[in-house]
Structure formats: structure tokens, C-alpha cells
Amino acid sequence: MERLGRLLTVLLLVLLGSAVLAPPAMADSEYLNHIDVTYDVQADGTIDVRYEINWHFPEKGRHGINLGFATRESWDQDRTKDVVYEITDVQVSSPTGAPAQFVEGTDGSGSDESLTLRIGDPDIALDTQDATYVIEYTLAGALRTFDGVPQLYWDVNSPNLPELRRFTARVTAPEGVVRARCLVGPEECESAVEGGVATFSHEGGPGVTSVVAEFPAGSVANAEPVLEDRRIRSAEMRGLDSAVEVQPDGSAKVLQEIQMVFPDGDDEQRVELGSFARLPWDEEQDQILTVEDLLILDERGQSIPFESSRHERDASAQRAPIRFGAGAGVTEPEPLRTFEVSYVLRGAVGIDGDVARLRMPTVPMHSGWVTDANATWTLPGDVLEPGFLQIWYYQAEPGEPCAFDTTVDGATITADAEALAGAPLYSFTDFAFPASAIASTEPLQPSLDAAKKRRRNLGLGLGVGGVGLGVGVGIAAAKVGRRRDDRFATVPPGVMGTPGLVKPASRSDNIPVRFQPPRLQPWEAGLLMDRQYEPRHLAATLVSLAVRGGVRLGTRPLMVQRIGNANVAQGVERRVLEVASRGEGKLTKNHARAMRTAVYTGGQQRIREAGWFHQTKPWLRAMAVTFLPFAPLALLLNHLIRNDNPLPGGMIFIGAGLAIGGFLGAAVGQRSMGHAALTAEGRALLDQVEGFEQYIATAEAPQLNFEAEHDIFRRYLPWAVLFDLTDRWTKVCRELAEQGRIDPPDTSFWVGASSFDNFGREMSRFSRDVGSASKPPSSSGSSSSGGSGGSSGFSSSSSGGGGGGGTSGSSW
């Protein structure tokens, strides 16, 4: 029974691993169709805000939305302060009739706080996926003044909102807007000022959107931030007086007075001092540190109990933090407390040749908020080098040098608050002095990181072999029994024959050159060639529409402008044409992705319905390709479990290699199985496509002369794009034009083509850029976009997300 349980465990691990290869279930996404915002600045510095949000839910049955508007952020100009905003007179409505009742609340802690609105009715489920909400409120504290000129620099959204597909905004003021700027991340978006009104827009995409508007000097009052002392979330060290004296036995005697500030209401007042039990000394040795005679006193001289724990791990860096509750025994603890910590640190000094080095934590805890500090280190000999090191706790590497401003006076080193406030996390002293100045030290130990690295290298070598084994098994499983395309048996390739009289297609079959394109749209030909969607299918489709007068194209910027009506195209091409914008602006990712979707879904429909592809795939072979690559991993796990042997040292890399090999083997195997095999009809059409590809790839200008009366350049250009032969095709047609055999090629559908000489390169670039723009988006608290910088939105370093405010949201 026990053995059965072990085998079932192994099987479960394999099944869980192979589940990664299963395609995710398709689900509609949540996004914002449109946000339209109005900021109406009043003479008293308040702003009447109106948000109109068109929300697309991922499914029907949702109740409404949650929104958060930033009301408190950290102030970048002075990190001891927070900037606060006041939001009042909130009103919510819905032009589409969605329930607009709301519950107002507060969310966040410390320097991040938001006003939250839960909009909707818990008893009413929406029977639609789209609803529009209008949120109106009055905002105070958002304006700033730079060089006597008032300004609004405001983040409209935050990373915590769903994808925004279209954004518009306007800013008005009592004496109008002087100038405006629109930012999306580091990029500029559309802005304009007309009649004293600033307007902003962009077509959505990733990044925080910010609006910037400047007003005449003196036109609005209260254009300064409202600042309060920074609200802390956890205990912080504000003051430090540290004295370290190195003893003749290589230990360090430490006396520190630490001033701490605690959040309001924190009665336990927990404190954690950073200490280490082991540190990497160099590539081959570790330093062992031991805290002895530890005593912690509060302001009254009362001893405070503490606890210490060591983070045991197979690494040279091992923390041993010291924790204590400063509020214990105090009826009403003050938020500002002072503690005295004293101890002896054994092993603080190590010998490196004829040089001794003091290595110990620079400060007892994070010192970024220290305002009053002084540290003194007294060595038994004159300082040779006052260095510092920083380690990366989860990386098996010795410390890296880092710089501090210190003062050296013989055998004494001192550092002030400014230097200590910049101490990075896990920084250590590396003070060198003559080894002859001490009598003895604790011995250094062999490096755990070095031993682990040796085991890892061995395991990696064997793991690479495991990867190869898994991939080999997957490919072998895929090759066995793979179905080949059919071909009509009684006619040459490319000719439709008698149904039922078929044979397996062979690579040795001679595909005749075809002088005319097949009766297919380019995207259909691409589907037959690749058995799946590829980006050049969309590029060829757009070029096909362009040469027939449906769209105009360009690359600087990437542009697809609709100029014709829908009658120039049918089916998939018509759906692509309907997506194209009639404006001359840059092709947005949303439009490009919608075009991709039209071609992709058309291809999936062809695969299912056209009779070009075999619809069945042997399930037993598919299972074998999925699971057999995991067989070596299953055998290894079964062996280790049966022998009660965990994965020691580098063995984990062997297991990882076999696991990766299993995943890759299954993935490569699935790919090697190929996509659905072609029926005889589908293979005949593909033969026609490949025959025409040979013609485009090999024909020279004299061979095309017989078609000089036709506009062969434009008619075959979409196919050249599909075959990645655009440069060659334009070169051949340029030769014909230079010889006077055809009219100069007509590129009027192309925007910005300076000459036909570089047209081929521009078309190739267009194909690449369309593929990049149409890629589906990758998957990805508070409403704040990260803090209010307090800088002008017109500076060169400004970006979207650098202003005040911000809005978060989700559906429920």
C-alpha cells in the first residue's frame, strides 16, 4: 500500500507538470473602452472633476465596479512628508442604467491612502458586459506652483486599473490654460490648447496617463501642496549613536543607542535588529559570527527580554535577527523611544595575509530614515583601508565594494547621519588594519557557497543530459506514427484529382512552377503553408487591401488608413478593413490586435470547415508524446522515494534537468507532431501556392515581359510579402520599368515612400512592425501611481505616472 502511495505521488507530479502544456481556457478580458475626464479648475484652487468610464466586464452577471482615488501620497521633495488631497461631494450616475448606488470608504496605510467607492447593487446582477458610470466630485490640494506659475500635473489612472483602450480629457480654468502636455509613461500623447481649454487624448495601451496644464500667474489661489508629517507603517530607526571597539582576540565590543519611532496604536512596539551568524569572507571561506553578552535597556534602564533565531540554510550568508517587544510592561508607550543595546561580537575580525579586516553589519537595521546619527569604530591598529561591502543575501557571491563618506583618524573611523542614511541593505564594514595588532581570531570556515557551487555544476552537467534525454524521448514519440499529407494519386501535384484516390505526399514529389497565383486570398495561402497563423499573413492581407484601394499604408509612423468602402473586400479581408481607422494617425496596438484576431479566427474557421485539413489526431499518440518525456523523471523520483533519499545537493539539478527535459520534450514533441495533416484537396492547393512561390523566387525580368500589359507589381506584391520576397520582387519590377517594358510601379497606396529604390526595405519593415504591433498583450491595492514628485510636468524628465493622484479599479 505504501509503495502504491509513492507511485501515485510520482504520477501526480508528472500529471501536474504536463498540465502546464495544456492550452489555457479562453476567456473574455476586462478592459475600459473609454475614459473621459473633465478637470474644471476653480479660482479657489479646488477642481470639479467628472469621470465618465465605459467599463467592459469579462462576463455578464457582475454587480458593478470598485474605484479608488488617491487622497494621500509620499512627497518626493521631502520624504519625511506626505501630500494629502481632499475629495468631497461625490456623486455617481450611470447613463446606461446600471445601478449607481455606492458605498464610500477608505483604503491603504502609511503614506498611501485612497477614497474608495463600491458602485453597484449586490442584489442586482448586470445582464450586459458593458456599462457606463459617471463619477463627479470636488478635489482640493492638487495644484502646484513653479516659478510663480500654477500648474496641474495629475495622474488620471494607475497600474491598478484594467487595460485602457481610449482616453480623452479636458482642463478648464477661470483665466484659461496657457499650455498643456499629455504623457503616457515616458511617451507623449495628444494635447492641444484652443480658446483657453486644454484637450488630451490617446488610444490606450500600457502605462500611467498624466495630464499637465499651466495657468496664468495669479489666476488661481491655493496652488500649493498640503503637506503633513509622513505617516509610517512600521517601526523606523530615526537616531543612532554607535561605538564599536575591536578587542585583541578579534571580537568587537558594541554599544549602541538607538532611537525608534513607532506607528500610532502600535502597543507591542516590535523591533528587529539585523544580525548575521555567517558571512561569505571570500570565494573559498566563510566568517562565523556569534553574539554574546547581549543586553537591551529602555529609557528607564529596564532590561528588555529578547529572542534570537538563526536562518539555517545551505548558504554562506545566514541571518540571525534579534527581536524584542519594546512595549512590554509599558502602560502607554510613547511613539518615540530610545534603547541601549550592548553585546560582544565574536569572529568580527578575520586575517587576510598580513592584513586583518573588521567585517560586521554597518548599522543594526534599515537606516534610510535616520536624521541624527553617529558611528565610531576603534581598531587596535591604524586604519589601512576604510572599506565597506554589500552582499546580496540570496546570491552565492562574496560582498561587493560600496562607498561611504567616513573620516579616518589613526585607528578611528567615524560616519555621520548623512553617510549612514545611505547605507544599503546588508552592508558591512571592511576596515583593514595590520594583522600584527591583534593576538588571535576565530578561524574562518570552508565556504558553503563554494561547496554548493561545485555540487551545482555537477548537477547542471547531468541535468543538461536530462534535458537532452527528455527532448529526445519527446521527438521520438512524435515521429512514430505521424500522419503525412495526402496527395491525389492519379494527377500531378497541384491538380485536383478524383476524391478517394490518394497517396501519401512525399518530399521528392516535383512541384511544378505556377505562373499565376492560386484562387486563394494571401492569408489562406499562408495558413496552408504554416498550418497556423503567422504575422506575415496579416501584413500580406493589408497589402492586398492597399493595392485594391481599400487602405493606405506607411511605416513612419506605422499606419493603416482606411480610404475605400467595404465593398472592395469580402470575408476576412472585409473584417480587417472595417477595423482600420479613417484617420492618418499611428496604428494603435488595439486596432492591430483586432486585425490579427480577424485573420486568426478566419484561419481557425478554415481549418474546421474548408476540408483542407484532417480533423482527427490519434489520441494514443498524443498522450504518448505528452507523458513519455516525463518517464525519466518519474523513474528518478520513484527511486528516491523508495529509498527514502531526498534530493541532496546537485541532485536537485538532475531532477530539474529531467523535469525541464520533460516539459521541453512534450512541447517539442507536440510541435514535431506537426499541425493537422492536409487532405488531398488542401495539399493540391498548397502545391499551387508553392509553385507560385517558386515563380516569384526565381523569375527574372525578361521572363515577366509577356505580362507587361498587366500591373504585375501591385497584383503580385501581396504574395511577395507573404513569401518574404518583397526585396526581390521590387528589384525585378524596377528593372522592367527601367527597360521601359512596364510603367513605373504605382506606389500611391504607400505614405512617405521617397523613392522606389528603398520601397522593398520599407515593405519588409512594415511587415515586421505590423507583427510586433499585433502581438496579444501579456498577462499581468492602492490607487496611487507611486508618489507625488512635486516637479513640473513640463520638465524633460517628466513622465506619465509622475504627477499627483491616480485612480485604481476593478469589477465585482
| Tens-place pLDDT, residues 171-198 | 999 999 999 998 887 788 888 999 999 9
- The arithmetic mean of pLDDT across residues 722-742, rounded, is 84
Chain centroid offset of residue 71 CA: 27
Q: Classify the C-alpha dihedral 231-233-235-237 as positive or negative.
A: negative
Tell me if residue 35 falls in helix, strand or coil.
Answer: strand
Q: Where residue 745 falls among pLDDT bands split at 50, 70, 90?
A: confident
pLDDT at residue 785 greater than cutoff 60: no
Tell me if residue 647 falls in helix, strand or coil.
Answer: coil
DSSP letter, residue 32 = E
Burial 465-496 (b: 16+ CB within 10 A, else e): ebbebbbebbbbbbeeeebebbbbeeeebbee
Percentage of residues in the chain having pLDDT higher than 90: 31
Query: Looking at the DSSP assignment, which residues form a beta bridge with residue 809?
Result: 67
pLDDT at residue 103 greater than cutoff 60: yes
Tens of pLDDT along 245-275?
Answer: 999 999 999 999 999 888 877 777 888 888 8
pLDDT at residue 611 greater than cutoff 90: no
- The arithmetic mean of pLDDT across residues 365-371, rounded, is 79
Chain centroid offset of residue 751 CA: 34
Q: Whole-structure pTM over 0.85, yes or no?
A: no
| Cα within 13 Å of Cα(340), Cβ side | 9
**Do you find a cis peptide bond into 557, omega within 30 degrees of 0?**
yes
Contacting residues for 160 by C-beta, under 8 A, at least 6 apart: 68, 781, 782, 783, 808, 809, 810
Tens of pLDDT along 47-95?
Answer: 999 999 999 988 889 999 989 898 998 887 777 788 999 999 999 999 9
- The arithmetic mean of pLDDT across residues 530-538, rounded, is 88
Q: Classify the C-alpha dihedral 722-727-729-730 as positive or negative.
A: positive
Cβ(436)–Cβ(386) under 8 Å? no
Closest CA to 252 of 370, 398, 350, 387: 350
Q: What is the mean pLDDT of the chain?
A: 81
pLDDT at residue 238 greater than cutoff 90: no
Cβ(479)–Cβ(672) under 8 Å? yes
Cβ(410)–Cβ(383) under 8 Å? yes
Q: How many CB atoms lie within 10 A of CB 801?
A: 23
- The arithmetic mean of pLDDT across residues 106-132, rounded, is 89
Determine which of 358-372, 391-405, 775-789 has the lowest per-residue pLDDT on average: 775-789
pLDDT of residue 6: 42
Contacting residues for 461 by C-beta, under 8 A, at least 6 apart: none
- The arithmetic mean of pLDDT across residues 206-227, rounded, is 89
Q: How far apart are the first and last CA of the chain?
A: 47
Tens of pLDDT along 644-703?
Answer: 554 455 566 666 666 766 666 666 655 555 567 888 898 899 999 999 999 888 877 666
Distance CA 692, CA 707 (A): 15
Tell me if residue 446 falls in helix, strand or coil.
Answer: strand
- When comparing pLDDT for 79 and 788, which is higher? 79
Contacting residues for 722 by C-beta, under 8 A, at least 6 apart: 522, 525, 526, 529, 536, 537, 540
Tens of pLDDT along 417-445?
Answer: 888 887 777 889 999 999 999 988 889 99
pLDDT of residue 224: 92
Q: Which amino acid is present at 177? A: V
Distance CA 186, CA 800 (A): 6
Tens of pLDDT along 24-51?
Answer: 444 467 888 899 999 999 999 999 999 9
Q: What does the block give as the cell for 234?
A: 512600521
- The arithmetic mean of pLDDT across residues 600-607, rounded, is 84
Long-range contact set of residues 236-239: C-beta below 8 Å, sequence gap at least 24? 236/260, 236/261, 236/366, 236/369, 237/363, 237/364, 237/365, 237/366, 237/367, 237/369, 237/370, 238/336, 238/369, 238/370, 238/371, 238/372, 239/338, 239/370, 239/371, 239/372, 239/373
Q: Which amino acid is present at 350? A: G
Query: Looking at the DSSP assignment, which residues form a beta bridge with residue 210?
Result: 155, 183
pLDDT at residue 794 greater than cutoff 60: no
List phi, psi (to 5°) of 110.
60, -130
pLDDT of residue 581: 82
Burial of residue 449 (number of CB atoms within 10 Å: 0-12, 13-18, 19+): buried
- The arithmetic mean of pLDDT across residues 546-573, rounded, is 84
- The arithmetic mean of pLDDT across residues 777-787, rounded, is 47
List phi, psi (to 5°) of 438.
-125, 155
| Cα within 13 Å of Cα(683), Cβ side | 25
Closest CA to 766 of 733, 720, 732, 735: 720
- When comparing pLDDT for 348 and 588, which is higher? 348
Distance CA 575, CA 577 (A): 5
Q: Where residue 809 falls among pLDDT bands split at 50, 70, 90?
A: low
Distance CA 356, CA 437 (A): 8
pLDDT at residue 760 greater than cutoff 80: no
